Amino acid sequence: MHELAATERLVELVVQECERNGLREPKRIIIEVGDFTSYTAESLSFYFNLAKKNEPVLKAAELEVRNVAAIAICQKCGEEMSLKGVSSKSCRKCGSGDMVIRAGRDLVLKMIEG
């Protein structure tokens, strides 16, 4: 159900942005979703399509989901690594578990095309 809450926040934001920019019927909403989030493009689109029924301004809008790679940085040796398909979050170079996620944690509204 994470996606539902995330999509509701997203729709709220999109509606605000449309009002602010005078967009009456945006065609495309582009969002970036990090690989490190648990959101899938399928469920985000599903909830978006449900939510837009309640928002007349979004009736023609399509959601485009772009993936952002999850990147972690080792705090010990500075090694950067992608977390895609990696089960362990320890550094591949020095083995330290002290990894900080630098990208790919968020869902970001990137662009609204009118």
* CB of 98 or CB of 113, closer to Zn ion: 98
What contacts 94, CB < 8 A, 6 or more positions away? Answer: 74, 76, 77, 79
Contact present, 25 and 57 (Cβ < 8 Å): yes
Q: Tell me which residues touch Zn ion (CB under 5 A).
A: 74, 76-77, 79, 91, 93-94, 96
Distance CA 46, CA 9 (A): 15
* CB of 27 or CB of 102, closer to Zn ion: 102
Q: Which amino acid is at 17?
A: E
* CB of 58 or CB of 103, closer to Zn ion: 103
